[in-house]
Chain A
């Protein structure tokens, strides 16, 4: 089901953990869906000097989290914002189709961490070329991002149950 590269990142994930004083933190997913990714970044001179992640989820969720940290470490924020979920999957040599939407959200978590940094720093995302970003759902290979609920989306569960926000709270349903 998974290729060697995915299994390697699952078994030996890069940059797991957290930073002492992160400059930006981003989290996507929710425990009800079975996937949650948290990225922390340290920024220096407009570059991602260091990055750590923690992920609750399946093999693909862990591997994509690990891969995105490798892809953007040392890169400028502009370069990091241009990384899409699809690029992460490609860097891993591909993911099973069913995993493309639900478990392939690592770039979204990274972008949130950068947005968090930018809002703390008072900078405007537009100044950093964020306009080049593809919409998250489309980048993840969502079958029909305009549909509500999105047919590939975990957020559906929370909505269908109709019992308010999922446990763990502030995190909006992924996608």
Chain B
């Protein structure tokens, strides 16, 4: 794997005419050549509609079922429990709204957390606005962990669903999913988890973890955009979001996105084979990056949990500088990253995740997320470790807050 993906990286660099280091794999990933090949084949030659009776249709249906099996296997689910849809966002919408509206309770209650992806948070807020559900948003600790005890205490007789993400997309913290699953089992409340970031990155088994609904997305695991899946445990009553034909066992109407689904299947199969190899490649690079930057830059911190975190996630805060200006500077050096600052979130508030973890606004504004991928090399990480500290230094030299802070705290001091 390493050799092949390193080759890809080099080709990418050569094409751009300068060094390019893509560290935004939590946003999206490049598709693997095997995936692209399967997608192309199902667009150009095997283009049948799986609902058709003729042989081209039957071949497409068989390809979709093969993909379903591959996607199911990577989460320990049964084939018939996986529904294909347009992506992680639709999966989250369907899981939450579908359970709430099918519950039959007069005042359904949902337990979730303050650090969920907007696909979960905004769905919950919308259900509250529509008067369809009451929602409890649980806090997290300074490392982004949810306390399973809090989940237990929040559950009440009207609770119809607990939704806690598997791993956070911004800071990479992996939740105590098994413990939360156990709490839900004891209280007989269905458990949904948004596993968009965790799927294919860490081992997941829906039975072992007590998960009843699980959202995944293809493009985070080197598959195509516009396709995802929702695991719905057998026996769960979930009302569809989209009505029409009887596709996906009447759970999700609309002609199946065959190229996307097949590509997802190939990506899931590759992830299943490589999951350990990928983690073994990513974790040392991740830790080298964190250590390398923190050793060179004062007034910086790692956000999220030091060890219970996704193999590819680095999230750092640099005090006295603002995230967007760091991203712009990195981009000019060919490094693609993201930030939790207000400027980059498209709102006035910095990242809701960092604020929920107790970071002050001004520190959250100076956060940078770098998410590594299978194609990331040791040389890439070295380049970032060399490039980032002078950028922070330059921006701090411009910052009116920095001079005052240095006078107060001493130059080398750690917060």
Contacts and interface: CB of A to CB of B under 8 A. Distances in A.
- Whether chains A and B associate is yes
Interface of A: 2, 7, 10-11, 13, 16, 27, 31-38, 54-59, 61-62, 98, 102-103, 153-154, 156-157, 166-168
Interface stretch (B77-85, B289-297, B398-406): B398-406
Contacts of A154: 342, 348
B348 A157 contact: yes
20 contacts: A7-B332, A10-B325, A32-B361, A33-B361, A34-B341, A34-B343, A34-B350, A38-B400, A54-B400, A56-B320, A56-B398, A56-B400, A57-B322, A58-B322, A58-B324, A59-B328, A102-B348, A153-B348, A156-B348, A168-B401
Given A10-B328, A34-B343, A55 B361 contact: no
Contacts of A36: 400-401
Nearest to A98: B346
B398 A13 contact: yes
Interface residues of B, number: 26
A103 B403 CA distance: 21
A7 B327 CA distance: 12
Contacts of A168: 362, 401
Q: Dominant SS at the B interface?
A: helix
B43 interface: no
Nearest to B342: A34
Given A33-B342, A36-B401, A62-B398, A56 B321 contact: yes
Interface of A is mostly: mixed
Nearest to A57: B322
Closest 10 CB pairs of A and B: A31-B362, A54-B400, A58-B324, A34-B365, A38-B400, A58-B343, A32-B361, A56-B399, A59-B328, A57-B322
A16 B360 contact: no
A34 B400 contact: no
B345 to A, nearest CB: 10
Contacts of A166: 361
Given A34-B343, A61-B322, A55 B365 contact: no
